[in-house]
Amino acid sequence: MKSILVLGAGRSCSTLIKRLLDRSEECGWKVIVGDIDLSVAQQKVSGHDRGEAFQLSAIDNIERDKRICEADLVMSMVPAFLHASVAKVAIAAGVPVITPSYLSDEMKSLDEAAKEAGVLVLNEIGLDPGIDHMSAMKVIDEIKSDGGVMKGFESYCGGLVAEESDNNPWHYKISWNPRNIVLAGQGGSATFKDAGRVKLEPPHRVFRRLRAIEVEGQLYKGYPNRDSLAYEEIYNLPDMETLIRGTLRVDGFCRSWDILVQLGMVRDDVKLVWSKDISWSEWTRSFLPSKTAGMTVSEAINATVISDHETNERLEWLGLFDTEVGPEITEGTPAEIIEALLVKKWALEDGDRDMIVMWHRFEFEKDGKRYARTSEFFLEGRGTTYTAMSDTVGLPMAIAAEHMMVGGGFGSVGVEIPVTSNYYDVVLPKLEEFGVVFKESQIEL
């Protein structure tokens, strides 16, 4: 019997593994799931008779590599920096690989070897990156083949909380890696094109110049992510007036989060030691000038940065003004201390459902006229296990896996990302069956 090897079985793998198991009988495969924590792998397999769980060693890759060589397809869900090491072994063994992660330079360097081995290593086929690439390129290709000339492209995606589960003033709960949430926008300058000019925004400005976005009557704000200029080449969009990829949040979130950024409360570059009995308000004063020591923390923030009433209420709701209670961990970077707080405050609770929102805007010229088309989708999760995040990361991967195992394949070899019709023509229609339906509209400008 053919087999699919899933490496890594963390929270974001729930839907992927379930879907692969659900399809195992009809497609005639078994699903072998490995994780550093055997019980996590076992739980995901949940006794399915076509499933098998095993333990990934933390010390060596002997078992992992043996399993890779025996598999017909590898789904690499390990931490991103490990994908290339998985892919190297798989390419040598002639086994194709799928990952949801951004293509690294190390992975790119395996392209020639993969082509020589006749193996497809398909990256960036989750939500973002993944569904964003496919849904955007489908429209871009349509516009171009219809004689349009692309002038602007903007694309924003956010993992949020469903309206019915939204019961905090940030309108946000955590459906993915909390560390990435705390460090969002802080990894480096954002570069993009806007109004015909190359633009750079340093990390302390990205939450300030926001893009207003409306989806299904709800107002969001988007901030730019890292290197959008690379998409001139990746999406073949030369001479754009506007080229921005970013993240969206419910209106108000970014304005308030910016205060944490301004004050340095999400810095990850220096470890500090606070006294073990420090309160949150005292901790917060680490980021405020000494001349504000006589004020309340809320007043001190107003005297230091341009905040507002709603923001200070949000900071207070997080507990940052608390004079009785303090951080549980008192040694670490500010980002680490804040992360430990947010994991509790922004937890998806039993019965909560998350939500994904994606929005693209395409501006183009055709026959002397100028048009703007938008394409958007939103999807609510099914609960705290099969979240919208888990669904939208796992389903494109599972659909791609099925197409490669029993559907004839994508007709490509080498190290790829899904930006061409051979991918989006297969994956997008299947995703619609799961509710990932893009709604388009167009206006003349």
Q: Which residues are catalytic?
A: 128
Left if phi > 0, otherwise alpha if psi is -120 to 50, otherwise beta: which for 233? alpha
In this chain, which stretch among 116-124, 216-224, 269-277, 400-408 interacts with a second copy, using CB under 8 A?
269-277
| Residue at token pair 């951080």 | 327
Q: Of 97 and 261, which CB lies nearer to a second copy in the complex structure?
A: 261
- The interface with a second copy within residues 34-93 (CB under 8 A) comprises none
202 near a second copy (CB under 8 A): yes
What span, in angstroms and rounded, lies between the C-alpha atoms of 445 and 441? 13
**Three-state SS annotation for 329-396:** CCEECHHHHHHHHHHHHCCCCCCCCEEEEEEEEEEEEECCEEEEEEEEEEEECCCCCCCHHHHHHHHH
**Range in contact with a second copy (rule: CB under 8 A) among 263-271, 361-369, 390-398, 404-412:** 263-271
The residue among 144, 193, 137, 196 whose CA lies nearest residue 365 is 144
Q: Kindly state the smallest distance separating residue 50's Cβ from a second copy, in Å.
A: 47
Least distance CB 288 / a second copy (angstroms)? 8
Least spacing, CB of residue 154 vs a second copy, in Å: 12
Q: Which residue has the tokens 């990390």?
A: 203
Residue in 209, 373, 382, 430 binding a second copy, rule: CB under 8 A: 209
Amino acid at 326: G
Residue 371 binds a second copy (CB under 8 A):
no
| Residue-by-residue DSSP string for 161-203 | E-GGG--STT-----S-HHHHHTTT-SS-EEEEETTEEEEE-T
Q: How many residues bind a second copy (CB under 8 A)?
A: 33
238 binding a second copy? (CB under 8 A): no
Give yes or no for residue 198 binding a second copy (CB under 8 A).
yes
199 binds a second copy (CB under 8 A): yes
Residues 302 to 341 in contact with a second copy, rule: CB under 8 A? 334
Name the 3-class secondary structure at 46: coil
Which of 28, 118, 147, 289: binder of a second copy (CB under 8 A)? Answer: 289
Residue 120: which of 84, 96, 98, 103 has the closest Cα? 96
Residues of this chain that interact with a second copy (CB under 8 A) are 188-189, 191, 194-195, 197-202, 204-205, 209, 227, 229, 262-264, 267, 269-270, 272-274, 282, 285-287, 289-290, 293, 334
